[in-house]
Homo-oligomer: A and B are copies of this chain.
Amino acid sequence: MSTLPPRSASLAPFFTPNGVAVIGASRDPSKLSYGVVRNLVDPERGYPGPIYPVNPKADEILGRRCYPDISAVPDPVELAVLIIPAALAPGALAACGERGIKAAVVISGGFREVGPEGAAREQEIVEIAQRYDMRVMGPNGIGVIDTHTPLNTTFVKGMPPRGHIAFLSQSGALCGGIIDWTIGRGIGFSRFLSVGNEADVNETDVIPFLAADDVSRVIALYLEDVKGGPAFADALRNAAAAKPVLAIKAGRTTSGQAATASHTGALAGVHAAFRAACVQTGVIELESIQALFDAALALAYQPLPAGNRIAIVTNAGGPAALAADALEAAGLQLARTSPETQAVLRGFLHPDAPVAGPVDLLGGADEGDYRRALDAVLADPAVDGVLAILVPQALVHPVAVVEAFAAAAAAQSGPARPVLACLMGEASLDAAYQAAHAGQIPAYVFPDDAVAAFGVLWRRARWVQRMREQESGGRNQGSGGRGQETGGRGQGAGDRRQESGRPAGDARWSIQRAKARQEVQDAISAARSAGRHALDAAESRPLLEAYGISAPPEALAISPDEAATFARRIGFPVVLKLISPDILHKTDIGGVILNVQDEKAASAGFETLVARASAAHPGAHIRGVQVQKMVSGGQEVIIGVKRDPTFGPLIMFGLGGVYVEALADVSFRLAPLTLADAWEMIEEVRSARLLTGLRGAPVADRAALADAIVRVGQLAADHPEIAELDINPLLVLAEGEGAIAVDARIILAA
């Protein structure tokens, strides 16, 4: 058997094939398969290589000689496009394999998406692909477009402009709309892929190919159903290290998720794992198609800013005010021009023209005014990027103004600052939009959309910068920013981030971990053998301790006397907690008694708890009452785990009690975690400001908290049997005093 080339390299024939056959090509203009040939032979932007329609009933289609079957097609032929009834597809695909073709697009529908019979047919496709070492894209996708080759295997009318945005869509039906809109807007693509059912080629294959592709400067993904899991995450991480990756995922709010027994499960929803994967791999998630392409356009055409100070140059105050409002929400700030720049501007502008904040050229400004103002502002060291706004005016020529934008952007000396445009209008601005894109100036109708795109440039810039810092710190994991993207000034966080790496960061941890792993494995096996899947606090404790997560001294009492005795041994005050596998939320029934001061109270407390449990849940099995050293002071937090079916263990952090329950103020990351990840999780939670000594409260031991988060992540990553886990609360003590898991439960996978 032959050795396969690297999977991603083998995708080249989909974009730059030498010869394309269309199996099922029709002469009937009302058929989709006619549209495929029409796009291929298009006189202006058609495929320049050999095109072979295959149809036993025709001699020629659209002036191209037609072949009765694929075996009759002469060399060279490297790509087959199948658009025939599903039942015939496997046979035709096998014939392509026999003919030596290594790449096929199956546009036909009627496979997995239509039920068991179709799924069997799809399995045949997979087997044929393996048998012949072929790569198959689809079925049930609309194919590929490459604007540089050029090549368009879809039946969709219209060819997008040449450009530098690579786009992958898991929905074929969406593509027609995207193509139509982007043609209207002048948004250019490099590669455009509709991957359909992903019987063979899937997003995890495609992303590395696009990452390595020189004509693609940015990758945009429309996703519905991610299958790759960890491999997909790796592909994203590597791609995002090479160039910006943007993603939108449909199905963010599906309410059909299974009920879960933990807070973490309930709060994670269906989307937290994907979101965490984006954050951890450097992928930028967007929430609308328009925002996705608005951002892609900016990333494709303009350099990254070195900082977040955005100047506004405008001929109208209103849109500038709206832009200024939008800046803050996007994590940016309005640049204040320097006195020198203001002097230059005052030299040629109307005396009333504001020049300190937004530079308002006033309504009569022409292309010369814009050019001089942009030159001045782009040379100002207090400016990291410029938003140029044009509202159409009676005597102003929009195309000339836009050309001035492009000229000023191109004329910069030294590291270039990004220039984005807001051309506010539509009826009279078609030519101006075309001029903008011709000059590589991303242009938007409304100021807030332009600012949002600037916000993405800045997010990307910060991420590149952080990667660099980690690299220069020598302790990063994989990945690195490319020289072509700029870094510059940024938002601190460097020092601490350099502590990234595995917990404790030394050899000792890895030795302990092997032992810990075994201990936990044994405990899990024992619980499972006993038919137990929900582990209470007492049962969960040894698993946590094995991974270095502290818990207070405690003992399980099964009688009032034992409660008194254990309490004396542990030392007062103690806390009493009801332990019952049937009562998961024990505070709901008053199942916890705090601050028990003496033996008599301990004994009485035992009886109270048992009585409460019996009243609330008659017949509940009561394992006993946990007597625990009462730890006072400190801040209650929660650390949770939920295993995501695609991405594996998802770790949650939040402040305990109402912060989690009423405010859902929590953060998520996928395990295993670096220490830098854990710090980010803490910083992302707004109420975690409570840990920093707000208003005279003691500063909490956040380092110990971050360490505990990493350890929980490691525990979950090492043991796929752990389906869910809640440490609630983990008590974070004053700085230097550590963090203690006061209560916990673990749910094992069935």
List residues of A whose CB falls within 8 A of some B CB: 30, 32, 35, 113-115, 155-158, 169-171, 173-174, 176-181, 183-185, 222, 224, 248, 250-254, 287-290, 315-319, 321-322, 324-325, 327-329, 352, 363, 391-395, 424-429, 445-446, 448-449, 585, 587-590, 657-658, 661-663, 665, 686-687, 689-690, 694-696
Contacts and interface: CB of A to CB of B under 8 A. Distances in A.
Given A289-B446, A445-B290, A695-B588, A424 B317 contact: no
A393 B174 CA distance: 10
B317 A184 contact: no
A421 to B, nearest CB: 13
Most buried by B among A318, A327, A352, A428: A318
A734 to B, nearest CB: 16
A309 to B, nearest CB: 14
Contact of A181 (B176, B394, B445, B696): B445
Contacts of A183: 426-427
A430 to B, nearest CB: 9
Contact of A185 (B115, B253, B426, B695): B426
Given A287-B448, A695-B588, A391 B174 contact: yes
Contact of A318 (B174, B290, B661): B174
B658 A689 contact: yes
A491 B155 CA distance: 47
A325 B253 contact: yes
Contact of A658 (B328, B585, B690): B690
A113 B155 CA distance: 57
A696 B645 CA distance: 34
A584 to B, nearest CB: 13
B324 A177 contact: no
Ranked nearest first, the 10 interchain pairs of A and B with the lowest CB-CB distance are A184-B426, A180-B425, A171-B318, A173-B316, A177-B424, A174-B318, A250-B321, A183-B427, A177-B391, A184-B427
B180 A426 contact: yes
A395 B155 CA distance: 10
Contacts of A155: 394
A662 B288 contact: no
B325 A184 contact: no
Contacts of A329: 253
Contact of A352 (B114, B178, B426): B114
Contacts of A174: 316-319, 391, 424
A318 B168 CA distance: 13
B181 A426 contact: yes
B318 A169 contact: yes
19 contacts: A35-B394, A114-B352, A173-B316, A173-B319, A174-B319, A177-B425, A179-B425, A180-B392, A180-B424, A184-B426, A184-B427, A224-B318, A248-B322, A251-B321, A290-B446, A658-B690, A658-B694, A662-B686, A663-B687
Contact of A663 (B289, B392, B665): B665
Nearest to A321: B250
A113 B352 contact: yes
Contacts of A395: 30, 32
Nearest to A187: B426
Contact of A394 (B32, B322, B427, B657): B32
Given A113-B352, A173-B315, A658-B694, A425 B181 contact: yes
Copy count, this protein chain: 2
A21 to B, nearest CB: 21
Contacts of A663: 663, 665, 686-687
Most buried by B among A289, A290, A694: A289
A182 B657 CA distance: 50
B322 A288 contact: yes
A693 to B, nearest CB: 11
B658 A324 contact: no
Given A156-B394, A174-B319, A176-B393, 18 more contacts: A171-B318, A177-B319, A179-B425, A180-B424, A180-B426, A181-B424, A181-B445, A183-B427, A184-B429, A224-B321, A250-B318, A250-B324, A251-B325, A252-B325, A253-B324, A589-B696, A661-B689, A661-B694
B325 A695 contact: no
B363 A696 contact: no
Given A180-B425, A185-B426, A253-B325, A316 B657 contact: no
Contacts of A177: 316, 319, 391-392, 424-425
Contacts of A113: 352
Most buried by B among A35, A114, A324, A589: A324
A445 B328 CA distance: 27
Nearest to A255: B328
Contacts of A318: 169-171, 173-174, 222, 224, 250
A739 B361 CA distance: 56
B662 A689 contact: yes
A157 B391 CA distance: 12
A172 to B, nearest CB: 8
Nearest to A351: B114
Contacts of A327: 253
Contacts of A179: 425
B428 A158 contact: yes
Contacts of A254: 324
A310 to B, nearest CB: 14
Given A424-B180, A426-B183, A426-B184, A173 B317 contact: yes
A329 B588 CA distance: 30
A210 B321 CA distance: 26
A255 B38 CA distance: 57
Nearest to A118: B352
A448 B325 CA distance: 22
Contact of A171 (B173, B317, B588): B317
A394 B39 CA distance: 12
Contacts of A288: 322, 446, 448-449
B176 A391 contact: yes
Contacts of A695: 585, 587-588, 657-658, 661
A352 B183 CA distance: 31
A657 B689 CA distance: 12
Contacts of A687: 658, 662-663
A149 to B, nearest CB: 21
Contacts of A325: 250-253
